[in-house]
């Protein structure tokens, strides 16, 4: 990876120069991709996510938005305390490090920060993982085999052993493919020494799975599945 940083007016862009992209504002705008007939789809979550493709790669475009009560008051503005402290810059740099370490994360493509006085807005572009679906989507379709639950536990352990504190580990931020398990969305994530936060990550994931189950009895999840995940997590240290 070759990170390059450029500035145009109030707009700052950080991108990987090893990828065939044009580091310009249109890269981050779903409307620009739509005009070229290259908008593939979209998804709604805490942020706004668009899926686009240029015929060579497919990308995920995410605009940072606040969640919960703050998001009702200030939708997408964050307090400016320096470029390196912006959410987009920190997430891009963390993902770049994890990707270069060989951990299963999407490759970061570009980040944009638009600075205006005391506040900023931000966007992030990553490579789309082919043929991936979230753990939540998979559970809505069918029960997972034991090997899958174990693989999820092993994957989480790999990140924890690397010191990666995922701030929002939930069933939507775990992706499954035929090739393996990936973690996504590292907003507010960080590298830390081992501690109680590791158990906190697992507890957050369990709450997410139980919430899905409580919201829909069609979700194929049981306490036995969780125990298999924990067994994989325990075995993951030797992977």
Same domain for 193 and 81:
no
Q: Phi-psi category of 102—alpha, beta or left, where left has phi over 0 and alpha has psi -120 to 50?
A: left
Output the average pLDDT for the chain: 92
Same domain for 8 and 29:
yes
- Measured between alpha carbons, how far is 199 from 186 in angstroms, rounded to an integer? 17
Same domain for 231 and 156:
yes
Residue 238 has pLDDT above 50, yes or no: no
Catalytic residue among 168, 185, 187, 225: 168
Place of tokens 């020494």: 193
Same domain for 196 and 110:
no
Half-sphere exposure in the Cβ direction for 52 (13 Å, CA) = 24
- Measured between alpha carbons, how far is 11 from 9 in angstroms, rounded to an integer? 5
Question: What pLDDT digit, counting tens, does each position of 44-59 carry?
Answer: 655 579 999 998 899 9
Question: What pLDDT digit, counting tens, does each position of 5-64 carry?
Answer: 999 889 999 999 999 888 999 999 999 999 999 999 987 655 579 999 998 899 999 999
Same domain for 167 and 188:
yes
Place of tokens 């402290």: 85
Q: Catalytic: 123?
A: no
Place of tokens 């998804």: 43
Domain carrying residue 110 = 3-127
Question: What pLDDT digit, counting tens, does each position of 113-170 carry?
Answer: 999 999 999 999 999 999 999 999 999 999 999 999 999 999 999 999 999 999 999 9
Q: Which two tokens stand for residue 152?
A: 């999820």
Question: What pLDDT digit, counting tens, does each position of 190-228 carry?
Answer: 999 999 999 999 999 999 999 998 887 678 899 999 999
Same domain for 9 and 101:
yes
Same domain for 111 and 143:
no
Name the band, by pLDDT with cuts 50, 70 and 90, for residue 71.
Answer: very low
Same domain for 196 and 153:
yes
Q: Which two tokens stand for residue 238?
A: 């030797």
Using a 10 angstrom Cβ sphere, with 0-12 exposed, 13-18 middle and 19 or more buried, the burial of residue 113 is buried
Q: Domain count for the chain, please give it.
A: 2
- Measured between alpha carbons, how far is 208 from 2 in angstroms, rounded to an integer? 36
At residue 170, the pLDDT reads 96
């Amino acid at each position: 990876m070759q990170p390059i940083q450029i500035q145009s007016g109030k707009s700052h862009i950080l991108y990987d120069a090893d990828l065939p992209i044009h580091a310009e504002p249109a890269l981050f705008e779903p409307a620009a991709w739509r005009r070229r007939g290259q908008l593939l789809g979209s998804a709604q979550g805490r942020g706004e996510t668009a899926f686009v493709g240029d015929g060579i790669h497919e990308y995920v475009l995410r605009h940072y938005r606040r969640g919960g009560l703050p998001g009702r008051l200030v939708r997408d503005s964050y307090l400016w305390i320096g470029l390196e402290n912006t959410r987009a810059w920190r997430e891009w740099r963390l993902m770049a490090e994890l990707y270069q370490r060989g951990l299963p994360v999407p490759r970061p493509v570009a980040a944009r920060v638009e600075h205006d006085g005391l506040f900023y807005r931000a966007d992030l572009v990553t490579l789309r993982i082919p043929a991936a679906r979230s753990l939540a989507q998979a559970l809505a379709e069918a029960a997972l085999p034991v090997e899958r639950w174990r693989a999820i536990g092993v994957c989480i352990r790999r990140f924890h052993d690397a010191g990666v504190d995922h701030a929002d580990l939930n069933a939507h931020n775990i992706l499954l493919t035929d090739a393996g398990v990936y973690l996504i969305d590292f907003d507010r994530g960080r590298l830390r020494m081992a501690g109680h936060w590791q158990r906190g990550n697992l507890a957050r994931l369990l709450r997410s799975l139980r919430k899905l189950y409580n919201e829909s009895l069609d979700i194929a999840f049981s306490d036995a599945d969780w125990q298999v995940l924990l067994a994989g997590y325990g075995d993951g240290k030797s992977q």
